[in-house]
Amino acid sequence: MAGDVKGDLQAYDDINVTPMLDLAYVLLVVFIIMTTASVQGVKVTPPLTQAANNLAKPQTRGITITADGQIFLDAYPVSIDQLQANLAQYKAANPNLPVVLKADAAAQYDKVMEVLEVAKRLDITEIGLATKRLQ
């Protein structure tokens, strides 16, 4: 009996690195996606917050509100009606449409509320508010 157990044990001459390589490739892909998935848009000064871990997903649409109240959708100026029409098209193509709202800290609150109301009317529930972390 003892001889059978000892006969089944083998010394490992090498280490199987396949799982480690799989993990390295997954981490590489995640890193590439995270660095290229930034939302393009108009430069604004976002308000400061301590919870600045909002990550944009691929196919995320960016809505920007400048200090003077101008609205941009993916770096293109739009009116509130154009914004609603364009977001409705995107929502039809992707029911879980993620949206990131970047508003200048000096932007009027009513403009932000107008955009949020458009998102609510279109049943867009994945909305991120871009902020800048306090340092």
The closest alpha carbon to 48, from 128, 135, 131, belongs to 131
Q: Do 11 and 69 fall into the same domain?
A: no
Per-residue pLDDT of the chain (135 residues; tens, 9 = 90+): 555 555 556 666 777 778 888 888 888 888 877 766 555 566 777 777 665 555 444 578 889 998 888 999 988 899 999 999 999 999 888 888 899 888 888 888 888 899 999 999 999 888 888 888 776
Q: Say whether both 25 and 44 belong to one domain.
A: no
Q: Give CA–CA dist 25/38, Å, rounded.
A: 21
63 and 16 share one domain: no
- 44 plus 103 within the same structural domain: yes
pLDDT at 79: 92
Domain that residue 30 falls in: 2-35
Instruction: Indicate if 52 and 14 belong to the same structural domain.
Output: no
Determine the pLDDT at residue 84.
92
Angle at the Cα of 78 from the Cα atoms of 75 and 97, rounded to 5 degrees: 70
> Within this chain, do residues 29 and 56 fall inside the same structural domain, yes or no?
no
One-letter amino acid at 21 equals L
Same domain, 14 and 60: no
CATH number at residue 73: 3.30.420.270
- Residues 29 and 68 both lie in one domain: no
Residue 80: C-alpha distances to residues 1, 65, 72, 86 (Å): 82, 11, 10, 10
pLDDT of residue 108: 85
Nearest Cα to Cα of residue 128 among 52, 36, 74: 52
| Co-location of 27 and 74 in the same domain | no
Give me the number of domains the chain comprises: 2
Is residue 122 domain-shared with residue 72, that is, in the same domain? yes
Please indicate, yes or no, whether residues 81 and 109 belong to a single structural domain of this protein. yes
- My answer on whether 60 and 26 are in the same domain is no
Give pTM, 2 decimals: 0.56
Q: What is the pLDDT of residue 37?
A: 58
pLDDT of residue 38: 58
